[in-house]
């Protein structure tokens, strides 16, 4: 980026800063809608998003987590992607194969993230077999997450799992839904299920730092207090009006300039390390729903946004890098690395006539550095964010940092980053078809 690009964008920078300041101060988005995500770093100390009753329920959940055998987190979109990112970061692919029992914590499964009968049936069969082959009665928690209380995929999964498992297991239902309205809220009140709210002013794509992610953490033994502390530290570091002193504003500015001045139409988010794989998919929803907009605030058609492509280093260096390096120069590659991994594993390495011992983690870091330098050699854009380690605190900061970047970029582009009108179009068509099917039409 050149100085003249930044100088030309100064009016947009001032608008973005003013937008985020207004949201922080008044809780109002560009068109007056309630936007409260800047309060997420303070959710455990303020009563705006979480009340004392919910904090007491959280304490009970933490205390009872070791008595739970299985947690099934049921949700889709923001009600799934954030929790899956947390699971991958702190539990991992081998959690249900023994690590959970070693730590006296529940196995964790996900359902309702797709309308796929085969995967839901397979999960049901697995839990039925586990219940029949376990000496004591299986204690299962169904964590049902739907702000509206009527989202078709998770509610269908719940209606499939609840009666089948209740017949052979002890099933406890915990719901996270709207505080005042909806079918799921009514059922929770009628059947006395433990209920948490999805706060008003917190869209699904911002909800990982709300009750949606916090309750999941409490059930899985993840330190949600440290996660929220990380978000708070990020918020305090990103208050400046000068882009040089505000990392979230700086990244938003460079992405915006890349989009409007350099022809960037795609963004590849490429974390290095399996623990961050699902983070890329969480970020894909955040960016797509926040920034993919047909019109600006004046009603002019601009079709702003970038196609988000989640990928994984080093895995996708062996599948996608050829296109990144020699395909159309229309991409920004967003690298995320971890400086200090929890585990080291030295292995034999041979490069030409040189042999030695190299830690696998160093191979990963070297691969990312080489990838960035190769892209730069062809004048292709990349950005690098390095986490000191994968901890609840750094993940809380990372989640919140990207939330701030889309808020700032929405201001820079003159769009509303807090609505999602395009999502409603397909929903109306789908519900019409389903209604017709059930009516025999």
Per-residue pLDDT tens digits for 177-210:
999 989 999 999 999 999 999 999 999 999 999 9
pLDDT at 214: 98
Rounded-to-integer distance, Cα 226 and Cα 393, Å: 5
Neighbours of 189 (CB within 10 A): 11
pLDDT at 286: 98
pLDDT at 291: 98
Q: Which listed residue (53, 60, 132, 427) is catalytic?
A: 427
pLDDT at 271: 98
Number of helical H runs and strand E runs in the chain: 16, 13
436: which residues sit within 8 A by CB, 6+ positions away?
Answer: none
pLDDT (mean) for 103-121: 95
State the number of CA atoms in the 13 A half-sphere of 228 facing the CB.
24
pLDDT band at residue 100 using 50, 70 and 90 as cut-offs: confident
Query: Which two tokens mark 413?
Result: 């582009």
CB of 381 within 8 A of CB of 333?
Answer: yes
pTM of the shown model: 0.96
Rounded-to-integer distance, Cα 69 and Cα 88, Å: 19
Fold of 3-32+233-414: Rossmann fold (3.40.50)
Q: Which listed residue (136, 191, 300, 318) is catalytic?
A: 318
pLDDT at 282: 98
Neighbours of 221 (CB within 10 A): 16
Per-residue pLDDT tens digits for 373-391:
999 999 999 999 999 999 9
pLDDT band at residue 70 using 50, 70 and 90 as cut-offs: very high
Same fold, 3-32+233-414 and 37-222: yes
User: 């460079």: which residue's tokens?
Assistant: 254
CB of 147 within 8 A of CB of 175?
Answer: no
Q: Please say if 384 is a catalytic residue.
A: no
351: exposed, middle or buried (C-beta count within 10 Å: 0-12, 13-18, 19+)? exposed
**Which residue ranges make up each domain of the chain?**
3-32+233-414, 37-222
pLDDT at 38: 98
pLDDT band at residue 419 using 50, 70 and 90 as cut-offs: very high
pLDDT (mean) for 362-373: 95
Predicted confidence (pLDDT) at residue 53 exceeds the cutoff of 90: yes
pLDDT at 297: 94
255: exposed, middle or buried (C-beta count within 10 Å: 0-12, 13-18, 19+)? buried
Per-residue pLDDT tens digits for 87-99:
999 999 999 998 8
pLDDT (mean) for 127-141: 93
272: which residues sit within 8 A by CB, 6+ positions away?
Answer: 312, 313, 314, 335, 336, 337, 338, 364, 365, 367, 368
Residue % of the chain over a pLDDT of 90: 87
155: which residues sit within 8 A by CB, 6+ positions away?
Answer: 112, 144, 146, 149, 183, 184
Q: Please say if 195 is a catalytic residue.
A: no
Q: What is the dihedral of CA 299, 304, 310, 311, to 10 degrees?
A: 180
Predicted confidence (pLDDT) at residue 427 exceeds the cutoff of 90: no
CB of 181 within 8 A of CB of 195?
Answer: no
What string of DSSP letters covers 155-222? HHHHHHHHHHHHTTSEEEEEEEE-SS-SHHHHHHHHHT-EEEE--TT--GGGGGGSHHHHHHHHHHT-
86-100, 162-176, 220-234, 321-335: which range is least confident on average?
86-100
pLDDT at 1: 76
Looking only at the bridges linking them, the beta strands covering 194-197 and 331-338 are unpaired
Q: What is the mean pLDDT of the chain?
A: 95
pLDDT at 303: 97
Of 239 and 344, the structure prediction assigns the larger pLDDT to 239
Q: Please say if 431 is a catalytic residue.
A: no
Rounded-to-integer distance, Cα 64 and Cα 221, Å: 10
Q: For 73-111, give one letter per residue: b (16+ CB within 10 A) or e.
A: bbbbbbbbbbbbbbbbbbbeeebbeeebeeeebbbbbbb
Looking at the structure, give the CATH architecture of the domain made up of residues 37-222: 3-Layer(aba) Sandwich (3.40)
pLDDT at 408: 98
Q: Among positive and negative, which fits the CA dihedral 235, 237, 243, 247?
A: negative
Rounded-to-integer distance, Cα 205 and Cα 33, Å: 16
CB of 98 within 8 A of CB of 176?
Answer: no
Q: Which listed residue (54, 153, 267, 289) is catalytic?
A: 289
Per-residue pLDDT tens digits for 259-314:
999 999 999 999 999 999 999 999 999 999 999 999 999 999 999 999 999 999 99
Nearest Cα to 62, choosing from 192, 199, 225? 225
């Amino acid at each position: 980026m050149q100085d003249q690009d930044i100088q030309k964008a100064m009016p947009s920078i001032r608008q973005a800063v003013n937008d985020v300041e207004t949201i922080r101060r008044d809780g109002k988005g560009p068109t007056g809608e309630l936007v409260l995500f800047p309060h997420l770093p303070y959710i455990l100390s303020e009563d705006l998003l979480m009340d004392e009753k919910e904090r007491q329920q959280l304490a009970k959940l933490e205390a009872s987590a070791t008595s739970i055998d299985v947690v099934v987190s049921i949700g889709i979109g923001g009600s799934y992607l954030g929790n899956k990112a947390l699971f991958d970061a702190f539990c991992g692919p081998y959690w249900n194969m023994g690590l959970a029992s070693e730590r006296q914590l529940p196995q964790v499964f996900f359902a309702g993230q797709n309308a796929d009968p085969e995967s839901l049936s397979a999960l049901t069969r697995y839990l039925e077999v586990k219940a029949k082959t376990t000496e004591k009665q299986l204690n299962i928690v169904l964590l049902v997450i739907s702000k509206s209380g009527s989202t078709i995929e998770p509610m269908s999964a719940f209606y499939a799992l609840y009666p089948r498992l209740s017949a052979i297991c002890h099933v406890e239902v915990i719901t996270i839904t709207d505080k005042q309205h909806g079918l799921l809220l009514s059922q929770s009140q009628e059947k006395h299920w433990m209920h948490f709210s999805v706060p008003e002013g917190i869209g699904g794509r911002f909800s990982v730092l709300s009750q949606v992610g916090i309750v999941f953490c409490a059930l899985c033994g993840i330190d949600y207090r440290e996660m929220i502390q990380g978000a708070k530290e990020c918020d305090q570091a990103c208050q400046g009006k000068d882009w040089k002193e505000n990392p979230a504003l700086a990244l938003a500015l460079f992405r915006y300039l890349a989009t409007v001045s350099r022809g960037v139409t795609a963004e590849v988010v490429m974390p290095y390390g399996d623990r961050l794989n699902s983070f890329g998919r969480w970020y894909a929803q955040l960016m797509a729903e926040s920034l993919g907009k047909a019109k600006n605030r004046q009603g002019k058609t601009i079709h702003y946004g970038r196609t988000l492509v989640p990928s994984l280093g080093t895995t996708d260096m062996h599948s996608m890098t050829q296109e990144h390096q020699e395909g159309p120069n229309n991409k920004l590659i967003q690298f995320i690395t971890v400086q200090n991994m929890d585990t080291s594993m030295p292995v034999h390495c041979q490069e030409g006539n040189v042999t030695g011992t190299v830690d696998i983690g160093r191979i990963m870091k070297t691969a990312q550095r080489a990838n960035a330098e190769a892209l730069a050699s062809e004048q292709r854009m990349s950005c690098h964010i390095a986490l000191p380690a994968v901890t609840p605190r750094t993940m809380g900061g990372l989640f919140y940092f990207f939330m701030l970047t889309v808020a700032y970029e929405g201001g820079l582009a003159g769009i509303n980053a807090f609505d999602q009108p395009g999502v409603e179009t397909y929903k109306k068509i789908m519900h019409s078809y389903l209604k017709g099917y059930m009516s025999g039409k």
